[in-house]
Amino acid sequence: MNQRLLKKALLRIGFWCLIGVLLLYAVFPFYYAIVTSLKPSSALFEVSYWIASPDFSNYAAILHQASFLRAISNSLLVALCVVTLALFLSVTAAYALGRVKFRGRGTVLMMVLGVSMFPQVAVLSGLFEVIRALGLYNTSLALILSYTIFTLPFTVWVLTTFMGQLPHELEEAAIMDGASPWVTLTRVLLPLLWPALVTTGLLAFIAAWNEFLFALTFTLTDTQRTVPVAIALISGGSPHELPWGLLMAASVVVTVPLVILVLIFQRRIVSGLTAGALKG
Protein backbone atom coordinates (compact mmCIF):
# COMPACT_ATOMS: atom_id res chain seq x y z
CA MET A 1 0.00 0.00 0.00
CA ASN A 2 2.81 2.39 0.90
CA GLN A 3 4.65 1.54 -2.30
CA ARG A 4 1.53 2.28 -4.32
CA LEU A 5 1.10 5.67 -2.63
CA LEU A 6 4.78 6.41 -3.12
CA LYS A 7 4.52 5.52 -6.82
CA LYS A 8 1.50 7.80 -7.26
CA ALA A 9 3.30 10.62 -5.47
CA LEU A 10 6.39 10.21 -7.66
CA LEU A 11 4.25 10.16 -10.80
CA ARG A 12 2.48 13.32 -9.71
CA ILE A 13 5.77 15.04 -8.91
CA GLY A 14 7.20 13.97 -12.27
CA PHE A 15 4.08 15.22 -14.06
CA TRP A 16 4.28 18.66 -12.45
CA CYS A 17 8.02 18.83 -13.08
CA LEU A 18 7.33 18.15 -16.77
CA ILE A 19 4.64 20.84 -16.80
CA GLY A 20 7.12 23.25 -15.20
CA VAL A 21 9.76 22.49 -17.83
CA LEU A 22 7.28 22.99 -20.68
CA LEU A 23 6.02 26.22 -19.12
CA LEU A 24 9.56 27.50 -18.69
CA TYR A 25 10.39 26.58 -22.28
CA ALA A 26 7.33 28.44 -23.58
CA VAL A 27 7.42 31.53 -21.34
CA PHE A 28 11.14 32.16 -20.83
CA PRO A 29 11.88 33.60 -24.34
CA PHE A 30 9.12 36.17 -23.94
CA TYR A 31 10.24 36.96 -20.38
CA TYR A 32 13.85 37.45 -21.50
CA ALA A 33 12.68 39.68 -24.34
CA ILE A 34 10.97 41.89 -21.74
CA VAL A 35 14.12 41.90 -19.60
CA THR A 36 16.27 42.83 -22.60
CA SER A 37 13.89 45.61 -23.63
CA LEU A 38 14.24 47.18 -20.17
CA LYS A 39 18.03 47.36 -20.30
CA PRO A 40 19.98 50.45 -21.36
CA SER A 41 22.33 50.12 -24.31
CA SER A 42 25.36 49.82 -22.05
CA ALA A 43 23.92 46.75 -20.27
CA LEU A 44 22.54 44.79 -23.21
CA PHE A 45 25.40 42.31 -23.29
CA GLU A 46 25.43 41.69 -19.56
CA VAL A 47 23.72 38.38 -18.83
CA SER A 48 21.09 38.96 -16.16
CA TYR A 49 17.62 37.53 -15.59
CA TRP A 50 16.27 40.28 -13.39
CA ILE A 51 16.16 44.04 -13.75
CA ALA A 52 16.83 45.99 -10.57
CA SER A 53 16.18 49.38 -12.18
CA PRO A 54 14.16 49.15 -15.42
CA ASP A 55 15.03 51.57 -18.20
CA PHE A 56 12.14 52.53 -20.52
CA SER A 57 14.27 54.44 -22.99
CA ASN A 58 13.89 51.72 -25.64
CA TYR A 59 10.10 51.95 -25.43
CA ALA A 60 10.23 55.74 -25.58
CA ALA A 61 12.45 55.59 -28.67
CA ILE A 62 10.15 53.10 -30.41
CA LEU A 63 6.92 54.93 -29.60
CA HIS A 64 8.37 58.23 -30.78
CA GLN A 65 9.04 56.81 -34.24
CA ALA A 66 6.24 57.90 -36.54
CA SER A 67 6.98 55.04 -38.96
CA PHE A 68 6.53 52.43 -36.23
CA LEU A 69 3.22 53.90 -35.08
CA ARG A 70 2.06 54.01 -38.70
CA ALA A 71 3.06 50.36 -39.07
CA ILE A 72 0.93 49.44 -36.04
CA SER A 73 -2.08 51.24 -37.52
CA ASN A 74 -1.49 49.54 -40.89
CA SER A 75 -1.33 46.10 -39.25
CA LEU A 76 -4.46 46.80 -37.25
CA LEU A 77 -6.37 47.98 -40.33
CA VAL A 78 -5.27 45.03 -42.46
CA ALA A 79 -5.93 42.45 -39.73
CA LEU A 80 -9.42 43.77 -38.96
CA CYS A 81 -10.36 43.88 -42.64
CA VAL A 82 -9.06 40.35 -43.18
CA VAL A 83 -11.01 39.03 -40.18
CA THR A 84 -14.23 40.75 -41.29
CA LEU A 85 -13.95 39.62 -44.90
CA ALA A 86 -12.82 36.08 -44.05
CA LEU A 87 -15.58 35.53 -41.50
CA PHE A 88 -18.29 36.84 -43.83
CA LEU A 89 -17.17 34.63 -46.72
CA SER A 90 -16.54 31.66 -44.42
CA VAL A 91 -19.95 31.79 -42.76
CA THR A 92 -21.78 31.84 -46.08
CA ALA A 93 -19.55 29.10 -47.51
CA ALA A 94 -19.87 27.01 -44.34
CA TYR A 95 -23.67 27.24 -44.55
CA ALA A 96 -23.62 25.87 -48.09
CA LEU A 97 -21.03 23.17 -47.36
CA GLY A 98 -22.30 22.19 -43.94
CA ARG A 99 -26.09 22.38 -44.32
CA VAL A 100 -26.85 21.91 -48.03
CA LYS A 101 -26.45 18.49 -49.61
CA PHE A 102 -25.16 18.58 -53.16
CA ARG A 103 -22.98 16.44 -55.38
CA GLY A 104 -19.27 17.09 -54.98
CA ARG A 105 -19.48 18.64 -51.52
CA GLY A 106 -16.75 16.35 -50.19
CA THR A 107 -14.55 17.17 -53.17
CA VAL A 108 -14.96 20.89 -52.54
CA LEU A 109 -13.98 20.44 -48.88
CA MET A 110 -10.90 18.44 -49.87
CA MET A 111 -9.94 21.18 -52.33
CA VAL A 112 -10.35 23.81 -49.60
CA LEU A 113 -8.14 21.78 -47.28
CA GLY A 114 -5.62 21.14 -50.07
CA VAL A 115 -5.24 24.86 -50.80
CA SER A 116 -4.17 25.47 -47.20
CA MET A 117 -1.26 23.03 -47.64
CA PHE A 118 0.55 25.22 -50.16
CA PRO A 119 3.40 27.24 -48.62
CA GLN A 120 3.35 30.98 -49.16
CA VAL A 121 6.59 31.01 -51.10
CA ALA A 122 5.14 28.57 -53.67
CA VAL A 123 2.55 31.11 -54.85
CA LEU A 124 4.50 34.29 -54.12
CA SER A 125 5.58 35.08 -57.69
CA GLY A 126 2.18 34.33 -59.22
CA LEU A 127 0.33 36.32 -56.58
CA PHE A 128 2.75 39.20 -57.09
CA GLU A 129 1.89 39.30 -60.79
CA VAL A 130 -1.83 39.28 -59.98
CA ILE A 131 -1.47 42.13 -57.50
CA ARG A 132 0.63 44.15 -59.91
CA ALA A 133 -1.87 43.57 -62.74
CA LEU A 134 -4.68 44.79 -60.48
CA GLY A 135 -2.72 47.92 -59.59
CA LEU A 136 -2.66 47.06 -55.89
CA TYR A 137 1.09 47.01 -55.31
CA ASN A 138 2.18 48.96 -52.22
CA THR A 139 -1.36 49.28 -50.91
CA SER A 140 -3.21 47.80 -47.96
CA LEU A 141 -5.61 46.11 -50.39
CA ALA A 142 -2.75 43.92 -51.64
CA LEU A 143 -2.17 42.58 -48.13
CA ILE A 144 -5.90 42.20 -47.42
CA LEU A 145 -6.36 40.19 -50.62
CA SER A 146 -3.33 37.93 -50.08
CA TYR A 147 -4.03 37.34 -46.38
CA THR A 148 -7.67 36.54 -47.04
CA ILE A 149 -6.71 33.97 -49.67
CA PHE A 150 -4.57 32.08 -47.17
CA THR A 151 -6.94 32.57 -44.23
CA LEU A 152 -10.14 31.38 -45.92
CA PRO A 153 -9.30 27.63 -46.14
CA PHE A 154 -8.81 27.38 -42.38
CA THR A 155 -11.86 29.46 -41.46
CA VAL A 156 -14.10 27.68 -43.97
CA TRP A 157 -13.00 24.26 -42.74
CA VAL A 158 -13.52 25.04 -39.05
CA LEU A 159 -16.88 26.76 -39.54
CA THR A 160 -18.12 24.02 -41.90
CA THR A 161 -17.30 21.36 -39.33
CA PHE A 162 -19.00 23.36 -36.59
CA MET A 163 -22.00 24.21 -38.79
CA GLY A 164 -22.57 20.56 -39.63
CA GLN A 165 -22.99 19.69 -35.94
CA LEU A 166 -25.84 22.14 -35.28
CA PRO A 167 -29.29 20.56 -34.84
CA HIS A 168 -31.20 20.31 -38.11
CA GLU A 169 -34.47 20.77 -36.21
CA LEU A 170 -33.70 24.48 -35.77
CA GLU A 171 -33.31 25.00 -39.49
CA GLU A 172 -36.41 22.95 -40.28
CA ALA A 173 -38.49 24.97 -37.82
CA ALA A 174 -37.26 28.24 -39.37
CA ILE A 175 -38.16 26.99 -42.86
CA MET A 176 -41.60 25.96 -41.66
CA ASP A 177 -42.08 29.52 -40.38
CA GLY A 178 -41.27 30.88 -43.82
CA ALA A 179 -37.71 32.06 -43.11
CA SER A 180 -35.41 32.52 -46.10
CA PRO A 181 -31.95 30.90 -46.11
CA TRP A 182 -30.36 34.26 -45.24
CA VAL A 183 -32.71 34.77 -42.28
CA THR A 184 -32.11 31.19 -41.15
CA LEU A 185 -28.37 31.74 -41.27
CA THR A 186 -28.25 35.14 -39.57
CA ARG A 187 -31.11 34.82 -37.07
CA VAL A 188 -31.06 31.12 -36.16
CA LEU A 189 -27.65 29.57 -36.81
CA LEU A 190 -25.29 32.52 -36.45
CA PRO A 191 -25.94 33.07 -32.70
CA LEU A 192 -24.89 29.45 -32.11
CA LEU A 193 -21.63 29.95 -34.00
CA TRP A 194 -20.07 32.47 -31.62
CA PRO A 195 -17.46 30.08 -30.12
CA ALA A 196 -16.29 29.08 -33.59
CA LEU A 197 -16.41 32.68 -34.85
CA VAL A 198 -14.30 33.91 -31.95
CA THR A 199 -11.80 31.11 -32.50
CA THR A 200 -11.42 31.54 -36.24
CA GLY A 201 -11.54 35.33 -36.04
CA LEU A 202 -8.83 35.53 -33.41
CA LEU A 203 -6.56 33.05 -35.18
CA ALA A 204 -7.08 34.89 -38.46
CA PHE A 205 -6.24 38.17 -36.72
CA ILE A 206 -3.03 36.71 -35.27
CA ALA A 207 -2.01 35.28 -38.65
CA ALA A 208 -2.57 38.62 -40.40
CA TRP A 209 -0.86 40.57 -37.60
CA ASN A 210 2.28 38.39 -37.67
CA GLU A 211 2.59 37.79 -41.43
CA PHE A 212 5.95 38.87 -42.85
CA LEU A 213 6.65 37.44 -46.33
CA PHE A 214 3.72 39.02 -48.21
CA ALA A 215 4.07 42.27 -46.26
CA LEU A 216 7.73 42.49 -47.25
CA THR A 217 7.06 41.65 -50.90
CA PHE A 218 3.89 43.64 -51.60
CA THR A 219 4.76 46.89 -49.78
CA LEU A 220 7.57 49.30 -50.49
CA THR A 221 7.21 52.48 -48.42
CA ASP A 222 7.00 53.18 -44.69
CA THR A 223 3.46 54.48 -45.10
CA GLN A 224 2.21 51.01 -46.14
CA ARG A 225 4.47 48.62 -44.21
CA THR A 226 3.10 46.52 -41.37
CA VAL A 227 4.60 45.81 -37.95
CA PRO A 228 6.69 42.67 -38.74
CA VAL A 229 8.45 44.44 -41.62
CA ALA A 230 8.90 47.62 -39.57
CA ILE A 231 10.58 45.61 -36.79
CA ALA A 232 12.84 43.82 -39.27
CA LEU A 233 13.96 47.17 -40.71
CA ILE A 234 14.86 48.78 -37.36
CA SER A 235 18.49 49.82 -37.61
CA GLY A 236 21.12 50.90 -35.13
CA GLY A 237 23.41 53.90 -35.01
CA SER A 238 25.80 52.29 -37.49
CA PRO A 239 25.62 49.55 -40.17
CA HIS A 240 27.42 47.18 -37.79
CA GLU A 241 25.14 47.72 -34.79
CA LEU A 242 22.16 45.48 -34.09
CA PRO A 243 19.81 47.36 -31.74
CA TRP A 244 18.64 44.49 -29.54
CA GLY A 245 16.98 46.78 -27.04
CA LEU A 246 14.83 48.50 -29.67
CA LEU A 247 14.00 45.19 -31.35
CA MET A 248 12.89 43.60 -28.09
CA ALA A 249 10.88 46.66 -27.07
CA ALA A 250 9.07 46.69 -30.42
CA SER A 251 8.42 42.95 -30.19
CA VAL A 252 6.93 43.30 -26.72
CA VAL A 253 4.73 46.21 -27.80
CA VAL A 254 3.17 44.22 -30.65
CA THR A 255 2.98 40.90 -28.75
CA VAL A 256 1.33 42.00 -25.51
CA PRO A 257 -2.05 42.85 -27.17
CA LEU A 258 -2.17 39.37 -28.73
CA VAL A 259 -1.42 37.72 -25.39
CA ILE A 260 -4.17 39.75 -23.73
CA LEU A 261 -6.67 38.80 -26.45
CA VAL A 262 -5.83 35.10 -26.11
CA LEU A 263 -6.16 35.25 -22.32
CA ILE A 264 -9.54 36.99 -22.58
CA PHE A 265 -10.98 34.57 -25.13
CA GLN A 266 -9.13 31.38 -24.16
CA ARG A 267 -12.28 29.51 -23.11
CA ARG A 268 -14.09 30.35 -26.32
CA ILE A 269 -11.02 29.38 -28.34
CA VAL A 270 -10.90 25.93 -26.74
CA SER A 271 -14.65 25.39 -27.09
CA GLY A 272 -14.58 26.58 -30.68
CA LEU A 273 -11.76 24.22 -31.65
CA THR A 274 -13.21 21.18 -29.89
CA ALA A 275 -16.96 21.54 -30.38
CA GLY A 276 -16.78 21.01 -34.12
CA ALA A 277 -14.85 17.78 -33.61
CA LEU A 278 -17.53 16.20 -31.39
CA LYS A 279 -20.73 14.62 -32.55
CA GLY A 280 -23.79 16.11 -30.89
pLDDT greater than 90 at residue 63:
no
The predicted structure's pLDDT at residue 123 = 85
Which residues, other chains included, contact 126 with Cβ-Cβ below 8 Å and sequence gap of 6+?
Answer: none
Classify residue 225 by burial, with Cβ atoms within 10 Å: 0-12, 13-18, 19+: buried
The predicted structure's pLDDT at residue 279 = 43
Average pLDDT rounded to a whole number, residues 99-108? 78
Average pLDDT rounded to a whole number, residues 196-207? 88
pLDDT greater than 80 at residue 199:
yes
The predicted structure's pLDDT at residue 271 = 61
At position 136, the amino acid (one-letter code) is L
Are 115 and 155 a contacting pair, CB within 8 Å? Answer: no
- pTM (2 decimals)? 0.82
Instruction: Give the domain ranges of the chain.
Output: 65-276
Average pLDDT rounded to a whole number, residues 29-47? 80
Packed helices 244-264 and 2-37: angle between N→C axes, nearest 10 degrees: 130
The predicted structure's pLDDT at residue 1 = 58
Q: Give SS3 for 208.
A: helix
The predicted structure's pLDDT at residue 274 = 57
Per residue in 240-278, pLDDT (tens digit) is: 667 888 888 898 888 888 888 878 777 666 665 555 444
Q: How far apart are CA 196 and CA 158, in angstroms?
A: 7
Are 224 and 138 a contacting pair, CB within 8 Å? Answer: yes
Question: In the CATH hierarchy, which fold is given to the domain comprising 65-276?
Answer: MetI-like fold (1.10.3720)
pLDDT greater than 90 at residue 214:
yes
At position 217, the amino acid (one-letter code) is T
The predicted structure's pLDDT at residue 146 = 92
Mean pLDDT of the chain: 83
